[in-house]
Amino acid sequence: MKNSNISVWLLASRPKTLWAAIAPVLIGTAMAYGANKEHLLSAILAAVAAVLIQIGTNFSNDYFDFVRGADQKGRLGPTRVTQAGLVTPSAMKLATVLVFGLAILAGIFLIYRGGWPILIIGILSILFGILYTAGPYPLGYNGLGDIFVLIFFGVVAVSGTYYVQVLEINTLVILAGLSPGLFSMAILTVNNLRDVQSDLKAGKLTLAVRFGENFARWEYLLSVLIACLIPILLFFLTESHLYALAASFVFVAAIPSIKTIFEQKPGIIFNQVLATTGKLLLIYSLLFSIGWIL
């Protein structure tokens, strides 16, 4: 390891992406609380496991993108520590294993409480986190990353958090899980749109590369819009949880980012949109969660 200080590993963990792991746990826990069946220890451990899986996935992506040569000098996104020479490939590989191992330890009680459904969720979350950039058919290199984040950072994360507390599931929870998944998909879309030229050169066939920049722009807009419409759908289905509708107004706050996406050419300016979209996800999850339990 060429640099072992904490700041380098903090950089590698990509802290701005961790809201994507925390947001669905907040929503799932709020819905469990609304059902009067919340379980605090399970909620805490679910959050810890989710964050560790996200960090492990980030470490894995850092390593395998370097191995595949996807990270080139002059990249527009945040620094990748392996490519930058701040961490050796072997150290990053070891760190990935250790973090995923910690996630498994955090999940032992969750598996004990929730049984085989939680075991399957945990295994698949780690497996697909690795396969996002690893293996003979990496998801992120073949346009499947968007579906991955929609499912695992949305429906699976919210439903799993709810299930491990309430020990049952329902359609409302699954629908609610679409929103954080769609926001995470929007975050990935900005990332892919920013890197469309470098990804094309590296043979990374994201949806932005496959279908073009305008497709990615509309994907971002529709992801945010549909996410913000979910609370309205849930209100009509339940005729309750009126205050959760406050989360829908996040769309208004997203308008400047949407304008930037449509008006600017892909470039470093999209890093600000990326950060803003992560904040919008956090704000959405807080407004929805607080509104749901009021």
Against a cut of 0.85, is the pTM above it? yes
| Mean pLDDT of the chain, nearest integer | 93
What number is the average pLDDT over the span 108-133? 95
Domain extent, residue 265, equals 6-293
pLDDT of 69 = 74
Do the domain assignments include residue 1? Answer: no
CB atoms within 10 A of CB 127: 13
Domain count of the fold of the chain: 1
Per-residue pLDDT reduced to its tens digit, 258-294: 999 999 998 889 999 999 999 999 999 999 999 999 9
Do the domain assignments include residue 47? Answer: yes
Q: CB of 190 within 8 A of CB of 220?
A: yes
Do the domain assignments include residue 269? Answer: yes
Q: What percent of the chain has pLDDT over 70?
A: 96
Per-residue pLDDT reduced to its tens digit, 145-194: 999 999 999 999 999 999 999 999 999 999 999 999 999 999 999 999 99
Do the domain assignments include residue 230? Answer: yes
Do the domain assignments include residue 81? Answer: yes
Q: Cα–Cα distance between 202 and 35 in angstroms, integer?
A: 48
H/E/C letters for each residue in 147-209?
Answer: HHHHHHHHHHHHHHHHHHHHCCCCHHHHHHHHHHHHHHHHHHHHHHHHCHHHHHHHCCCCHHH
Do the domain assignments include residue 275? Answer: yes
Q: CB of 176 within 8 A of CB of 34?
A: no
CATH number assigned to the domain comprising residue 239: 1.10.600
Do the domain assignments include residue 287? Answer: yes
> Residue 157's closest CA among 4, 265, 258, 20?
20
